[in-house]
Structure 1
Amino acid sequence: MIKQTLFSGLLLIATTSLSQAGIIKVDDSDFNSGAGVITFSEFALGTTNPAYTAADYGGDAGDPDVNFGGWFNGQSLSANPLIDCPGAAASACIVGNPTNSLGIDTNSPNTFIVGDGSNPTSPVLSGTPTFNGGIAVLFSTDQFGVGFDGGFFNAVGSTAITAFARDGSLIGSVANTVTGIEFLGLVTDDNTARIAGVFLDLVGAEPAGFAIDNIRFGGVNDINVVGVSEPSTYLGFVLALSLMVVRRNSLNK
């Protein structure tokens, strides 16, 4: 009975570890030629909440549709921005947990394509008001990794990209570490495609606001990441360790 309990416990640890995947920060150079790319030059300036099919961004059949909005269902503007986002613009201080299943709140403020003299690859996508609103990105199929050029940042640690699973649960977040234009990218740390959407908003003071450009996304084969283990390999290792412990327990009796 002890052996069975021990084995079951270790198996639970293994499967729980896999289901609670976090994120690994990645760079734009980690995305290979198979990854999807949206530059926001595909549609006209002023387009609100652009909706992309694979054909719109030059993707292949089976690549995801990509939609944009102000925030996800279950989220809202903070009623206490001085507490929730000290120093941040109240219009980009967004709180709350997305609901299941992940979807863009159609009543949230619009995102729109706009020119940006501070970004060398303008046009960009902004929230509302211009450069001071949240931006939610929803994929029709789950992705392994997502990233985009964020900025123009005038403060470090002011803005974060946060990834959510299809059920609205949090996967992980990455904040900007430099000023200027910075690529904010992440992948799941268990080598699985679990990212249904990402969200960009302020987490601190940002004097000049922010926008996104050149969003990249893809599956495991589209992103080259060193140090991400195959789930099956990790699970196999934990199960093997479990059997070793159980066997040693038997021999010591």
Structure 2
Amino acid sequence: MSPTTNMLKAVSAAIALTAASVASADVIRIDETAFTPDAGLITFSEYSLGTVNPTYNPADYGGGADAPVVSFGGYFTGQSLGGAGDCPAGAALSGCVIGTPTGPLSLDPSSPNTFITNDGANPTSPVLSGSPTFNGAITILFDTDIAGVGLDGGYFDAIGGTAITAFDRDGNIIGQVTNEGMGIEFLGLVTEDGANAIAGLQFSLVGSEPAGFAIDNLRFGTADQIDVPPVAGVPEPGTLALLGLGLAGFGLSRRKKQA
């Protein structure tokens, strides 16, 4: 096989790989400024302290007629809390969730409760905590799919110990982001292509977090309610097409010279 043929095959494979990455169901990390003013916002001050596993209808948080119903619990059906051999070193077992959710996605009614409480470490308290207080996983279910979601998490005393994980309606993981700092931090993500594909979100431990955690100021929205940032390093479809045409021309030129 000639060097030219090898090169053409290698570059063609690279184009196919790049095209696949453009269509992947990954997520992009975003901050709170990516959400437009008409995106959903739940501050947990809408209900009284002590409310267990709250469910928010659109009217409860000022959402429109097409906005999702948002429900909270400990974990999804098909999951469970991890044991000592399942969870990362230093992670509280009450905040470590294992297993794959079963579809269609639903909250497990037997999972530990979430509840609204005050948090002296969070200036925008009240917050939503898992069980036990500030040491339990928090899981969120949307009754209609959204494109992006984010929340204020903390108070963190370790970097990379806590994550939000997005799931689709069938229980498949779409993507995950972890905390990058300490204190109160906004953790947000959106589907890479801006598709409304997120049915649920889980806030749980993926490492050590000595101070515990809770959530506040949950933001969420469909594709038209989020400014999706461009994906760095991924060529536009037009760039791929031009590269393909260039390869075709290169191959034709080689054949003419050999003739």
Both proteins in one fold, TM over 0.5: yes
Q: Is the 8 A contact 1:14 1:235 kept in 2?
A: no
Q: Does 1:28 align with 2:32?
A: yes
Distance in 1 (alpha carbons) for counterparts of 2:155 and 2:202 = 17
CA gap of 1:202–1:119, structure 2 versus 1, over 3 A, is same
Superposed CA deviations along residues 204-236 of structure 1, whole A, max 9, x for unmatched, are 11111100000000122212233159xxx9566
TM alignment of 1:94-173, pairs within 5 A: 94-173=97-176
The more displaced of 137-146 and 209-218 is 137-146
Q: Is the 8 A contact 2:32 2:150 kept in 1?
A: yes
Q: Is the 8 A contact 1:154 1:179 kept in 2?
A: yes
Given the alignment, which residue of 191, 196, 203 partners 1:193?
A: 196
Size of the alignment, in residue pairs? Answer: 245
Instruction: Give the match for residue 60 of structure 1.
Output: 64
Q: Is the 8 A contact 2:24 2:192 kept in 1?
A: no
CA gap of 1:241–1:164, structure 2 versus 1, over 3 A, is farther
Q: Is the 8 A contact 2:25 2:192 kept in 1?
A: yes
Instruction: Give the match for residue 4 of structure 2.
Output: none
Distance in 2 (alpha carbons) for counterparts of 1:234 and 1:138 = 34
Instruction: Give the match for residue 3 of structure 1.
Output: none
Distance in 1 (alpha carbons) for counterparts of 2:117 and 2:105 = 26
User: How far is 1:245 from its partner?
Assistant: 5.4
Superposed CA deviations along residues 32-78 of structure 1, whole A, max 9, x for unmatched, are 20110000011111111111111110011101111111011121111
The more displaced of 169-178 and 9-18 is 9-18
Given the alignment, which residue of 220, 224, 245 partners 1:221?
A: 224
Amino acid at match of 2:68: P
CA gap of 1:122–1:217, structure 2 versus 1, over 3 A, is same
User: How far is 1:19 from its partner?
Assistant: 5.2
Q: Is the 8 A contact 2:156 2:184 kept in 1?
A: yes
Instruction: Give the match for residue 87 of structure 2.
Output: 84
Secondary structure in 1 aligned to 2:90?
Answer: coil
Distance in 2 (alpha carbons) for counterparts of 1:31 and 1:228 = 17
Q: Is the 8 A contact 1:11 1:239 kept in 2?
A: no
**What is the RMSD computed on CA atoms of the aligned residues?**
2.6
Q: Does 1:183 align with 2:186?
A: yes
Which blocks of at least 5 consecutive residues in structure 1 are unaligned? 1-5
Instruction: Give the match for residue 44 of structure 1.
Output: 48
Secondary structure in 2 aligned to 1:56?
Answer: helix
Q: Is the 8 A contact 2:127 2:215 kept in 1?
A: yes
Distance in 2 (alpha carbons) for counterparts of 1:178 and 1:56 = 32
Q: Is the 8 A contact 1:111 1:126 kept in 2?
A: yes
Structure number, greater radius of gyration: 2
CA gap of 1:35–1:162, structure 2 versus 1, over 3 A, is same
Instruction: Give the match for residue 76 of structure 2.
Output: 72
Distance in 2 (alpha carbons) for counterparts of 1:243 and 1:99 = 45
User: How far is 1:181 from its partner?
Assistant: 0.4
Superposed CA deviations along residues 163-200 of structure 1, whole A, max 9, x for unmatched, are 11111111111111111100001111112121111101
User: How far is 1:146 from its partner?
Assistant: 0.4
